[in-house]
Amino acid sequence: MKYISTRSDEAVSAEEALLLGLAKDGGLYLPDQLPKPFIDFDQIKDFSYAELATFILAPFLPDIPVEDLRSLVQKAYEDTFDTDEIVPVKRITEAFSVAEMFHGRTCAFKDLALSLFPYLLVWAKGKNKKIKKVLILTATSGDTGKAALEGFRDVPGVDIMVFYPSEGVSPLQKDQMQKQVGHNVSVVGIDGHFDDAQSALKEIFNSSLRSEMEEKGIYFSSANSINIGRLLPQIVYYAWIWLKAVKNHSIEKNEPFNVVVPTGNFGNILSAWLAKQIGVPVGKLICASNENKILADFFATGVYDMHRPFHVTESPSMDILISSNFERFLSYVVCDKKQIVKDMKDLKETGVYSISPEALKRAIGEITGEWVSPNEMEEAIRRMYDDYDYLIDPHTAVAYAVYHKLRRRGEIPRHTHTVIIATAHPYKFPFAMAEALGMKSEGTPYDVLRELEKETNVTIPSALGALEEKEKRFTKTISKDEVESVVEFYAKQLLER
Ligand SMILES: *Cc1c(COP(=O)(O)O)cnc(C)c1O
């Protein structure tokens, strides 16, 4: 299998796609051909998470010998999650379950991919003798940064820089990043939004600095979901959720289940869509947005329009207007690369593009978009706690609220089962949780965590509790125009090491 850019016919091997992150034409890599559905329930039903991951990833990474892949996957998921189930699926009622994707090292779903991605990248690096160092450049809306830092810290041959919106992440997320340990890491705040950080890095991926450094053996890559190394491991958990939902007696073995995904950069939901293409029986695929509802509007109108206010919400990982992976989905529904190039150019220059009615029809046939207000999100946190004694974080609450909205409107068939994707541990957002639940929200984030623990009996994950005592290492904030020079400085230092 080769990987091909969304904007041209530039095809590369999996290892090159992993190393490059973003294609040199500015597009994103996709498999040149999706494997035909190859998943059979009876074949996979007794697999462990690592076995399932090996089985699903092998066709996508044909250059890695299966035995090697198996050992990488085992290392990735061994002792990095607080449960052997990796992703527990809690059946809440006959109608819906919650897939808990927050049992990794940083308490967010990003851990599922970022526990494995460093191993894949190091493998790819090993195949190319010209590379001295890989410098990972990552923009984060809060969770990717920390998960990537944990995944890459002290990995030989790789350094990582993370850029986060300095006022756009929760206090705990900020602590997680500013207090990161490791000799090969750097964390920088940006005076702006996630989109500013992401765009600045995309510029660097297309810059002369990148080619200059490449000649000297320093390769820039990305840990964002623009990298296929993020996307592919995320396919696995949709098959896992399927197995668990059957075991919980929520569905019959080949019965479709709906999925509601709280969406930002469109990576998670795109993985669900890919899982469906290879044979996981996903029914309705629902893209849930917060007030930054550019995707919901797109699915309603076929117009992607950035001319709108940006809202800072309690679900910061969804506060995104330029949803990168959407370009990948678009390329499947538009089926015309010249058109994609034009749309992306229009987006950059005018802030808007639109697709044809036929393409929109195809898009809506695949994915349903909906959004909810901050009040609906808060109400969803309260409702889940009051009705089922279960805590969900603000991102998951957006998905849960969207689920109710669609169900009320009859858009989710009554007798089908739905899985809400829980993307973060509720305690990553202590203030938002305490406020939604009417509990005391004074003092430091850790005071509020203790209060929440006392009131709800949900234990503080050690990964979060232990932060309180750690020292801040990275407190610098820069403007978005300074990103390139900061990267250049760091990259040049790498040359001297
Ligand atoms: C990253 C993230 C999202 C958005 O996922 P995408 O793949 O970017 O759409 C949603 N919720 C949480 C908690 C996240 O960390």
Q: What is the pLDDT of residues 207-219, one digit of tens each?
A: 999 999 999 999 9
Report in angstroms the alpha-carbon separations of 288 from 139, 206, 324, 424, 491: 22, 31, 16, 15, 38
Nearest CA residue ID for atom 1, ligand 1? 317
Question: Cα of 429 to ligand 1 centre, how many Å?
Answer: 14
- In sequence order, what are the residues at sequence separation of 6 or more whose Cβ sits closer than 8 angstroms to the Cβ of residue 252? 246
Q: Which of 265, 269, 290, 298, when mutated, tests ligand 1's pocket best, judged by the most ligand atoms within 8 Å of its CB?
A: 265
Measured from the Cα of 102, ligand 1's closest atom is: 13
Instruction: Kindly report, residue by residue over 427-454, the tens digit of the pLDDT.
Output: 999 999 999 999 999 999 999 999 999 9
Ligand 1 centroid, distance to 67 Cα (angstroms): 31
Residue 496 confidence (pLDDT)? 87
pLDDT, residue 24, reads: 85
What pLDDT, on a 0 to 100 scale, did the predictor assign at position 141?
Answer: 87
Tell me how far the alpha carbon of residue 215 lies from the centroid of ligand 1, in angstroms.
Answer: 34
pLDDT score at 497: 80
Q: Which atom of ligand 1 is nearest to the CA of 428?
A: 13
Best mutation site among 102, 318, 428 for ligand 1 pocket (most ligand atoms within 8 Å of CB):
318
- Which letter, b or e, does each residue of 175-210 get, where b requires 16 or more Cβ atoms within 10 Å of its Cβ? bbbbbbeeebbbbbbbebbbbbbbbbbbebbeeebb
The ligand 1 atom at the shortest distance from the C-alpha of residue 424 is: 13
| Atom number, ligand 1, closest to the C-alpha of residue 271 | 7
Contact between residue 369 and residue 298 where contact means Cβ atoms under 8 Å apart: yes
Of 28, 98, 103, 109, which is best to mutate to test ligand 1, by the most ligand atoms within 8 angstroms of its C-beta? 109
Instruction: Please report the pLDDT score of residue 10 as a whole number.
Output: 85
* Residue ranges in the chain modelled with pLDDT below 70: none
Give residues (CB < 6 A) around ligand 1.
108, 110, 143, 225, 262-268, 317-318, 395, 423-424
